[in-house]
Chain A
Amino acid sequence: MKKSKDASQEDKDLNYKRIVKEQSNKIDDLQKTQSTLRTQAAKNKHPTSSIANLSLLLLGDLVDDCIYDVLFDVHRDVKQAYAVCQICQTKCRIHSQIPGHDIYNNVYNSGNLPSFECVNCQKMIASVRYASHLEKCLGLAGRQSSRVASRRMGSSPSSSDYNSDSNDNERKRKKLPSSPLTSGSRSKRSRNYDD
């Protein structure tokens, strides 16, 4: 126990020393720049019109523009949030805009996702996995799931066409195009044209 304590204490000391070193380097740099600026200013007759000063002025203008943009947005959003909306006469514009939260201030990690009951198998599934689970459950996703689903439902797969959606690239079409389904639909179609 004591050894681990010493080790963590040593780490903290090393960290502290590193931080102190960085900060003192920063202070040295700033002091150097300050002294060079002072000597430069003493040399220049017109200190306000050096290129460095002018460029800093222009940069300040550009940055101020960007800052005022953000502040205008903040001000407008806050004002609208606390004012009564003119359309519905209630305070409907209060929403949170914190990054990572939704507008009602909910945070969804993998831990607390809302889950819903599958309409087919009545299991509780998390919302992000609901669609893919339902696909597999109803046998609409691929070869495996249609086999599993048909076994569960105890009937032959009624939609053999759905298989080809996902398996087109995998196997060549060994089925003849004139399967009982398509020929049936063809005859139906020809009947419609005759009428």
Chain B
Amino acid sequence: MATPDDELIAALSRQFVNSGEKQRLLALLKSKLTEANWSDAYYAHCRTAIQDRKDNVTMEELIEMNSDHGRSMISESIKKELLVHIKKFLHDALVNPTPSNEE
């Protein structure tokens, strides 16, 4: 991968976090998911998936077993809405490049 790409990606993610946009979009996404009942349904699915294990389930195992299913459970409309917000942010960030951490 070319380094200017990585720098660009890193700078954009930094600006994403620093401007508070990531926090805002994260809160938005969480509220949409709870509204659509995704959180409860995913929680119930994970509990039933590890019922036979009884104990000593590690976080890594949980992540490995369930994260794909969780991603697929999110409805397309929620993903599209979030993508619209993110693209708007990226467009603004690329059109008006702010001097972030180079001062």
A residues contacting B by CB (< 8 A) are 46, 48-49, 51, 54-59, 61-75, 77-79, 82, 97-99
Contacts and interface: CB of A to CB of B under 8 A. Distances in A.
- Majority-rule SS of A interface residues: helix
Given A51-B91, A68-B63, A71-B66, A46 B5 contact: yes
B86 A74 contact: no
Interface of B: 1-2, 5, 8-9, 12-13, 16, 22, 25-26, 29-30, 33, 39-44, 46-48, 50, 54-55, 57, 59, 62-63, 66-67, 70-71, 74, 79, 82-83, 86-87, 90-91, 94
A69 B26 CA distance: 12
Contacts of A49: 5, 8-9
Contacts, number: 95
Contacts of B82: 59, 62
26 contacts: A48-B5, A49-B5, A51-B94, A54-B12, A57-B9, A62-B26, A62-B29, A65-B26, A66-B26, A66-B29, A66-B30, A68-B63, A69-B30, A70-B39, A70-B43, A71-B46, A71-B63, A71-B66, A71-B70, A73-B43, A74-B62, A75-B59, A78-B57, A97-B43, A98-B48, A99-B40
Contacts of B30: 66, 69
**Which 7 residue pairs spanning A and B have beta carbons closest together?**
A55-B86, A82-B55, A74-B46, A67-B70, A49-B5, A71-B62, A55-B87
A112 B74 CA distance: 35
B83 A59 contact: yes
Contacts of A46: 2, 5
Given A51-B94, A55-B86, A70-B39, 18 more contacts: A46-B5, A54-B90, A55-B87, A58-B86, A63-B29, A66-B26, A66-B33, A67-B63, A67-B70, A67-B71, A70-B46, A71-B46, A71-B70, A75-B57, A78-B50, A78-B55, A98-B44, A98-B47
